Structure 1
Amino acid sequence: MTLTQRQPSMLAAMATDQVPGPAIHVRGLEKSYKDLRVLRGVDLEVARGSVFALLGSNGAGKTTVIRILSTLLRADAGTARVNGFDVATQGADVRGSISLTGQFAAVDEILSGRENLVLVARLRHLEDPGTIADDLLTRFSLTEAATRRVATYSGGMRRRLDIAMSLIGSPPVIFLDEPTTGLDPEARIEVWQAVRKLAEGGTTVLLTTQYLNEAEQLADRIAILHQGRIIVDGTLAELKQLLPPATVEYVEKQPSLEDVFFAVIGDKQ
């Protein structure tokens, strides 16, 4: 999570008075590690207030894209803008516009859920951290567990708390890097509900995931990253149209997103 010293009024203004245009705009992004070319010219655009899913196998470069967009890593070539700010030249403004939730919940297990939220609000120098914490606990259905140590939380509860912590300061853009990795099906559904609440509140979400049904459930738009490039980008309905019409026997079999994924990358599982 990114810590800033903006006051609440400034943060609220950032969330509502945003720069016109897409929330995220990427063109020709490249990144290599010695002889390994991870990104080979990535292009993508994320509309404001939408959930955008970036799919790809292990090593496809999903986390590298997130790290560049959150200013944790510098690209070798290409341009990227987040909330209207250039990630290479306006890093402080980008960091003030985003929150990043990584693959593992960054919560303090010794503290209670409420204490975790209050701590982050104080670190951000926000007024009335207790009220901020209570509002988020209610929003993410954690009120009953507010005073319990996080060590007693389930995986889904920890993840919901982690996402709640990332919302402190009202960032207009949130990056969720494989947020349901390692969670059981019930906990995964809890996280899905939390992401839906973010979108309903107008937050832009860039989600990376290996779970194809997760993208089907959550995303307004889906892109597949393969061998360092975006090879398809569209709505779920548009991606399904890439396959031949469904074969009708006794029932109509519609292609799943998994069918589309393996068809476009050319792998057979």
Structure 2
Amino acid sequence: MAVLAHASAGRIVAAWTLDPAPIDPATHLEQTHTRGRRHLRRLLDQPADAEVRSPMTNQLFDRLTQPADPSKRKKIDYMSVTSYTYTPRKPLRRVLDHALDHLNQIDQWQRWRREGVVPIPTDGWAPSTVTLPEDRLPLTAADLDAWLWRVDQAMRLLTQRAAGLSDDDLDWQPPDGGWPLRRILHHVARSEVLYAASFDEVLPDDPVARYAEADARFSKRLVAARAMTDDPSIVFPDPYGTFFTPAGVVAEVLALESELLTSVTG
């Protein structure tokens, strides 16, 4: 069932990628926050002990974030599955931490570009793969309001900073091969909805039903995306900010599933 889990993850990531986004990253951030906030507000409807499994697997994450240099890529073990879960409080923490981390990154990238000051990683946050004790605490209406105020301020500041960047700022390539700010900002926008909608868009637990639902969402998005390919104001970034065409998304899905079959058949 490991292969089916990764295939399901691949198809749901493809569906996420085919969700059309504004080409301007600041607009993407603004629109996504409006949408994500509705999902975050509904977290209050969940039981205190609710916990759902993310569609993603760590193995697919590794595949999607491999270095561009083939010599630096690592072999991925598709015969095992490492995944993680969300509680009602955890999406709030992830949205806020993610926004603050990349807000700080804008200033770091600007200094790097203009003054040659190499950034120092700020890794004080805990990733989605980690569930903290506080993530399992009950979420009250007062808690949610306080979280949303912090999230709103962080996203407002991030959007304002993004809107003030020039194309040169957005597309500057860090010397170490890191992500340009344009990619980073689209990544933040994509990720907010993925965190926020973790309960609203949960997939079935049954492996076969999970794959079928992921495939249905992918197929629906693909039909809609193909009708938008001539719109120059629309882009299709994956969760890590890489732009694709609908045809490119299909090719990625087929490539992943070919790798998965090879891992089984040898």
TM-score using structure 1 length:
0.27
Q: Considering Cα pairs closer than 8 Å and 6+ residues apart, tell me whether 1 or 2 has the greater RCO.
A: 2
Which has the larger strand fraction? 1
- Between Structure 1 and Structure 2, the one with more helix by share is 2
In the superposition, the TM-score normalised over structure 2's length comes to 0.27
